[in-house]
Structure 1
Amino acid sequence: MPDLSASRHVDAPAALVYDLVSDLPRMGEWSPECERVTWRGGATGPAVGARFVGWNRSGAVRWCTWGEVVEAERGRRFAFEVTVGPVRVARWGYVLEPDGPDACTVTEEWTNRRPRAVGWASDLVLGDREATNAAGIAATLDALARAAESVATA
């Protein structure tokens, strides 16, 4: 069960929203903390087992994460697990529910996977991750909705 989740109605088809959110190299366009993502290990797109590197920033602090796609069902679910070095730190997921042929509700979920000591240390350096991620989820969903609705009406 996720530690955080929020939902947003989007006036765009679920498949279109999925295509945007699962295009991880574009994540920096929606997320206030992620600067960029690149596929690695031969991956070229969102498939279960595809691996990637993410570059993140919070204030003056920058860090890399390594991730692997664990769910990829177009128009329905997309999720990935994230590590920092060998330590699992989070699972991020998106659930899409159609609200008709041209609209959907997208839910973004964050599950804290950090061991207690790692969580304490990262909160000390980066601030309260739960509060930061709650604000980040809201901002990401708003940016994603704007992008999807712009494409859908074009």
Structure 2
Amino acid sequence: MNEPSASAHTEVHASPDVVYTLVSDLPGMSALTDELARGSWLDGVGEAAVGVRFRGHNKIAWRRWSTTSTVTDADPGRRFAFEVSSVAGIPVSRWQYDIEATVNGCRVVEQTWDRRPSWFRPFANLVTGVRDRADHNRRNMERTLVRLKAAAEAASG
């Protein structure tokens, strides 16, 4: 796999399992991220597993759009990842959370790969209002990881 288009990381004083539970909790993640307004599992499924799909309802200011994602990695305590497509099936991105145990808890790395075809990018930029997707995602990841760290450490007592 090529280099991610954006990446961020943090150290968390909580177990890898606690962090995994948070990042794989689709409804709960909307409270930790800037762009995901709401997520819902599809096909009658209620939790993360490889091959499971979900709908992401996203927002930036007044702009709203939806995507469909498929879970590609669901390894508790280690990795949660998914491929995102537009509702028309056009590849958009891959998102991945890697969790590595440390002496004091774990290190979490959030990464994304831009998968949009070049012809689709101007349309996507218009819909989302984001011109520099890599920089936008990196800044959002940094804020998400601050909230994730606080939630995981609070859950760990």
The TM tier, using the shorter chain, reads over 0.9
Q: 1:30 aligns with which of 32, 55, 58?
A: 32
Q: Partner residue of 2:108?
A: 106
Q: SS in structure 2 opposite 1:116?
A: coil
TM-score (normalised: structure 1): 0.94
**Identity between Structure 1 and Structure 2 (%):** 39
Report 1:1-154 matches (<5 A). 1=2, 2-84=4-86, 85-100=88-103, 102-125=104-127, 126-127=129-130, 128-153=132-157
Structure 2 unaligned regions, length at least 5: none
Q: Partner letter of residue 35 of structure 2? A: E
CA contact (8 A) 2:6 2:135 kept: no
Residue 63 of structure 1 and its aligned partner are, at CA, apart by 0.4
1-structure distance, mates of 2:40, 2:124: 23
Structure 1 unaligned regions, length at least 5: none
Q: SS in structure 1 opposite 2:49?
A: coil
2-structure distance, mates of 1:33, 1:104: 25
Name the structure with the higher helix share. Answer: 1
1-structure distance, mates of 2:124, 2:48: 28
2-structure distance, mates of 1:17, 1:112: 24
Q: SS in structure 2 opposite 1:78?
A: strand
Q: Partner letter of residue 3 of structure 1? A: S
CA contact (8 A) 2:81 2:96 kept: yes
1-structure distance, mates of 2:124, 2:96: 21
1-structure distance, mates of 2:27, 2:51: 16
1-structure distance, mates of 2:89, 2:48: 22
1:40-93 CA-to-partner distances (Å, cap 9, x unmatched) read 112110100111001000111100010110001000011000111210100000
TM-score (normalised: structure 2): 0.93
